[in-house]
Amino acid sequence: MIRKANREERCHRSLTLRARCLVLAALVSLVLSASESNATDCPTSADEISTDRPDFTSPPLAVPTGSIQFENGVTWSNEQRSNVVEGPQTLVRVGVARCTEIFFSVPDYVYAIGGNAPAGFSDFVASAKLQLPKFFGFDAAAIGGISFPTGGSQISSHGYDPDLQLPWRHVIGEHWAVDGMFGITWLTTEPHDNPTFISTAELERDLGTSGTIFVEYAANYPRHARTTDILDGAALWRVTPRQQLDIHAGFGINRPTPNHYLGIGYSFRLDGLF
């Protein structure tokens, strides 16, 4: 039994190492292929801001070349009999080439009041995105990322966790669009559930020229553990073409997810930096 367990552990480590190498290769490939991208409708500094906040679905459009975008927010949630405040949730996105960006999730602090929820700083995450050519009216992108174990002992995964994502978007009318994302990740803290698959679906509607509302369903599918399901909604308001305010709220559909949560955010973009 011990030998069998050792073989399984070595096999798991080998698969995890391959997954990390795969994501690192994807990151390098995204950056190297930037100059060869044939994607159309790549954003420019003349376009309005498009953020990764506040939904789970990543946007398929990249930040304009030479621009840097800061997306910030604070979220309150109720989970594990605790009131949890997380912030500042900061994402830094940099347009490094045509249709290509790199972005970083800056560690934020998770503060738990009462209950059993963990507290501490989150891990640092580095990612790259390549906007893909439009296909049958669908905008899409390829994203590869990896987290670094920089967070607190109760929050950090204590490992280098890779992930791959494929977000997409399709306009279905003058004011309507559907969005979604498929993803896969490997979590150091949940070795027996790797890989974990991610799926989201979203319906959005524009309100005039500066507002958007949406509803979203997001789910994680661990290999052996129970699926986690979340339903949320949000409203966005572009104060200026390069500034955005947002508010979002949601709740978990089953036990492993937060009971409910509420968040606000502010994002802005600076153009023509290089």
Q: Which domains does the chain have, with CATH numbers?
A: 2-270 (2.40.160.40)
d(CA 44, CA 60): 14
Q: Give the pLDDT band (50/70/90) at residue 189.
A: confident
Q: What is the mean pLDDT of residues 214-243?
A: 92
Tell me what pLDDT residue 61 has: 94
Decide: 101 and 93 in contact? Cβ < 8 Å: yes
Tell me what pLDDT residue 64 has: 96
The sign of the CA dihedral 98, 64, 90, 203 is negative
Per residue in 60-89, pLDDT tens?
999 999 999 999 999 999 887 889 999 999
- Give the Å distances, CA to CA, from 268 to 40, 73, 105, 145, 218: 24, 12, 16, 23, 26
Q: Give the pLDDT band (50/70/90) at residue 5.
A: very low
How many CB atoms lie under 10 A from the CB of residue 3? 7
Tell me what pLDDT residue 6 has: 42
Per residue in 109-164, pLDDT tens?
999 888 788 899 999 999 999 999 988 889 999 999 999 999 999 898 889 999 99
- Give the Å distances, CA to CA, from 251 to 29, 212, 215: 37, 20, 12
The sign of the CA dihedral 228, 126, 25, 135 is positive
Tell me what pLDDT residue 3 has: 39
**Residue 18 reports pLDDT greater than 60:** no
Which of 35-49, 55-69, 76-90, 218-232 has maximum average pLDDT? Answer: 55-69
